[in-house]
């Protein structure tokens, strides 16, 4: 029924469009990133990244003999509007693929639309996991590709024994900290050695929390802070750390949401030496990265701009989609979904990223120390790449669940114990 309805709708829309001929000549790429509102700071860059990739692809002769055409919409940092704009892109503009979203709530908002209309979304940001949709490709890091290796680094290389998990009070920090807490306890860390603290969005008065961290850190064991503090609340946090005389050498802070873009244009003095875990840094020493940076600075025409991890994720996602379309010989979402699994493309740190059956990709994990020029010095990295795990092994509910979108399983949350597939199983 659903399919008939959809085809009918498509037919009606096709008939309604006057430019059928031109539509057939191009492949449309939808871009669903906020260009206004609070998230515009981060998302505008990603829109430009895809525009650059489209331009490069066209310069290299397009795809399947056709030119690519980017369709940009602005969901304005408004979560319900994300769903509306997604529908507009797929149903009205009839794009073949969408690159978009930043926050988890915006992704959750568009998810039903993509599943209903069976289209493709490439999601480029690190997130809390616990999801695998047939229609979404997660090119950012799952917790096991960022948070867990970061904790391992602190534990093994820095010798941290006491842990502060500090985060902003919303879904990503809460889920990540839940996973980390379970992981630390599995590693034999006692309750007394873990301190968890949540703060509201945009928190600026960090005096008491920093004093608490200081007190917690003076109890005889090496202490480290794992920070999922969001966006601009970080600046007063690091400032207060500096003012209260806590240096990165005493208590290192490792952040999961502080990247080059966030550091550009702020006074990085108090942040020097603190850490961040990502899958890509602008300072990565690789030919392909230098070329990408040159291309980006050229495209954006501003020498002061930086590149960051979600941009790399979009770079990989776009290349993978192009590969999969070539392989399938068509842009039809179902064909691309089948073709893209196993597709391998170079990432920007000199390695290879492969699309896994659970719609996550393989990524290297890098730990960088913040430098005074707002760049990161890579101090540690995983020897190879780490495959993304959609369902964390450290949460009781999700331990037994796997995602595999290949036949015969074709399921995003398959419980190996009960042998049942629940939800998200359209078609």
Partner 1 sequence: MPVSPITIRSWLLASLAGLSCLMATGHTLAATAADIESEFARTVTSLYADSYDEKASIAASLAEMEHPRVDLILSALIEGNLYRERRTDVIVIARSLDDGGYHLTDAVTGEDMGDVGRRGARKISVNNSLRRQLKGLVAGRQLNVGSPSDRIAAIEDIVNAGDEELSDVLRARAEKENDPDVLEAISIALIIFDLDAVDEARKLAAVEASATNLHPLVRRKLTAIAADESEVDELRAAAKTSLAEITRRVERYQMVETLFFGLSLGSILVLAAIGLSITFGVMGVINMAHGELIMLGAYTTYVIQTVFPNALEYSLLLAIPAAFVVSGLVGIAIERGVIRFLYGRPLETLLATFGVSLILQQAVRTIFSPLNRAVATPEWMSGSLQVAQGLSITYNRLYIFIFALLVFAALQAILRRTRLGLEVRAVTQNRDMARAMGIRNTRVDIMTFGLGSGIAGVAGVALSQLTNVGPNLGQGYIVDSFMVVVFGGVGNLWGTLVAGLSLGIVNKFLEPEAGAVMAKILVLIFIILFIQKRPRGLFPQKGRAADG
> Which parts of this chain interact with partner 1 (CB under 8 A)?
36, 38, 40-41, 158, 169, 197-200, 202-205, 207-209, 211-212, 214-215, 217-221, 232, 235-236, 239-240, 242-245, 248-250, 252, 265-267, 272-273, 285, 290, 303-304, 369, 371-373, 377-379
Which residue number, 29 or 150, has a Cβ lying nearer to partner 1?
A: 150
DSSP of 360-379: BBEE--EEEEE-TTS-EEEE
Q: Are 353 and 417 in contact (CB under 8 A)?
A: no
- Cis amide leading into 408 (omega within 30): yes
- Residues facing 165 on adjacent strands: 196, 226
Pick 237 or 394: Cβ nearer partner 1: 237
The nearest distance, CB 148 to partner 1, in angstroms, is 21
Which DSSP symbol is given to 88? I
Residue 233 DSSP one-character state? G
CB of 347 to partner 1, least distance (A): 20
209 or 365, CB closer to partner 1?
209
Considering the complex, what minimum distance in angstroms separates the CB of residue 286 from partner 1? 13
Q: C-alpha 202: how far from its chain's center?
A: 21
Q: How far is the CB of 174 from partner 1 (least distance, A)?
A: 12
- For partner 1, the closer of residues 36 and 406 by Cβ is 36
Closer Cβ to partner 1, 72 or 266, answer by number: 266
Beta bridge partners of 404: 411
Count the Cβ atoms, other than its own, within 10 Å of residue 319.
18
CB of 378 to partner 1, least distance (A): 8
In the numeric block, which tokens belong to residue 313? 């994720």
Q: Smallest gap, in angstroms, from Cβ of residue 279 to partner 1?
A: 19
Q: Which token pair is 384?
A: 């190879």
Dig out the tokens for 358 from the structure.
């659970």
Cα–Cα distance between 402 and 407 in angstroms, integer? 14
> In terms of CB distance, is 218 or 334 closer to partner 1?
218
Coil, helix or strand for 303?
Answer: coil
Report the SS3 class of residue 413.
strand
User: Nearest distance from residue 306's CB to partner 1, in Å?
Assistant: 11
CB of 201 to partner 1, least distance (A): 9
Residue 356 is encoded by which pair of tokens? 């896994």
Strand partners for 228:
167
Question: Which helix (H) or strand (E) covers residue 331, if one does?
Answer: none
Of the pair 226, 340, the CB lying nearest partner 1 is at 226
407: which residues sit within 8 A by CB, 6+ positions away?
none
- Nearest approach in angstroms of CB 274 to partner 1 is 9
Closer CB to partner 1, residue 124 or residue 217? Answer: 217
* Beta bridge partner(s), residue 420: 415
- C-beta of 229: minimal distance to partner 1 in Å? 11
Six token digits for residue 217: 């850190």
Contact between 157 and 380 under an 8 Å Cβ cutoff? The reply is yes
Closest CA to 376 of 297, 296, 275, 285: 275
Beta pairing class for 366-370 and 376-381: antiparallel
Strands (E), 23-135: 26-32, 67-73, 97-100, 121-123
Q: How far is the CB of 169 from partner 1 (least distance, A)?
A: 6
Closer residue to partner 1, CB minimum distance, 102 or 391: 102
Closer residue to partner 1 (CB): 41 or 421: 41
Q: 191 vs 303, which CB is nearer to partner 1? A: 303
Task: List the one residue out of 91, 86, 47 whose CA is nearest residue 70.
Answer: 47
């Amino acid at each position: 029924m659903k399919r008939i309805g959809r085809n009918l709708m498509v037919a009606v829309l096709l008939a309604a469009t006057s430019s059928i001929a031109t539509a057939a000549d191009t492949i449309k790429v939808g871009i669903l990133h906020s260009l206004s509102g609070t998230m515009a700071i981060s998302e505008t860059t990603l829109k430009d990244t895809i525009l650059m990739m489209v331009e490069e692809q066209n310069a290299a002769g397009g795809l399947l003999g056709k030119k690519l055409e980017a369709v940009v919409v602005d969901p304005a940092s408004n979560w319900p509007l994300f769903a509306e704009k997604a529908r507009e892109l797929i149903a009205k503009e009839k794009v073949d693929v969408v690159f978009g979203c930043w926050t988890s709530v915006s992704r959750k908002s568009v998810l039903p639309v993509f599943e209903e209309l069976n289209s493709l979304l490439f999601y480029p940001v690190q997130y809390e996991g616990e999801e695998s949709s047939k229609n979404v490709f997660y090119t950012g890091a799952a917790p096991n590709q960022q948070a867990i290796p970061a904790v391992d680094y602190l534990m093994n290389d820095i010798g941290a024994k006491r842990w502060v998990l500090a985060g902003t009070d919303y879904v990503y920090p809460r889920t990540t900290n839940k996973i980390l807490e379970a992981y630390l306890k599995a590693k034999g860390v006692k309750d007394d050695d873990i301190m968890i603290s949540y703060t509201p969005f945009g928190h600026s008065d960090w005096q008491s929390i920093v004093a608490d961290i200081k007190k917690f850190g003076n109890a005889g064991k090496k202490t480290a802070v794992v920070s999922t503090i969001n966006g601009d609340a970080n600046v007063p946090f690091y400032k207060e750390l500096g003012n209260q005389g806590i240096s990165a050498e005493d208590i290192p802070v490792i952040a999961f949401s502080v990247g080059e873009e966030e550091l550009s244009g702020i006074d990085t003095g108090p942040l020097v030496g603190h850490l961040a875990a990502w899958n890509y840094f602008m300072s990565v020493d690789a030919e392909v990265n230098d070329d990408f940076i040159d291309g980006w600075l050229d495209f954006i025409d501003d020498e002061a701009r930086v590149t960051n991890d979600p941009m790399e994720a979009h770079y990989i996602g776009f290349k993978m989609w192009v590969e999969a379309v070539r392989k399938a010989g068509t842009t039809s979402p179902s064909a691309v979904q089948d073709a893209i699994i196993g597709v391998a493309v170079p990432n920007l740190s000199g390695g290879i990223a492969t699309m896994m059956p659970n719609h996550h990709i393989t990524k290297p994990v890098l730990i960088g120390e913040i430098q005074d020029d707002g760049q990161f010095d890579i101090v540690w990295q995983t020897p190879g790449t780490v495959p993304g795990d959609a369902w964390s092994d450290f949460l009781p509910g999700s331990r037994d669940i796997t995602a595999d979108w290949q036949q015969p399983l074709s399921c995003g949350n398959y419980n190996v114990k009960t042998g049942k597939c629940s939800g998200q199983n359209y078609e």
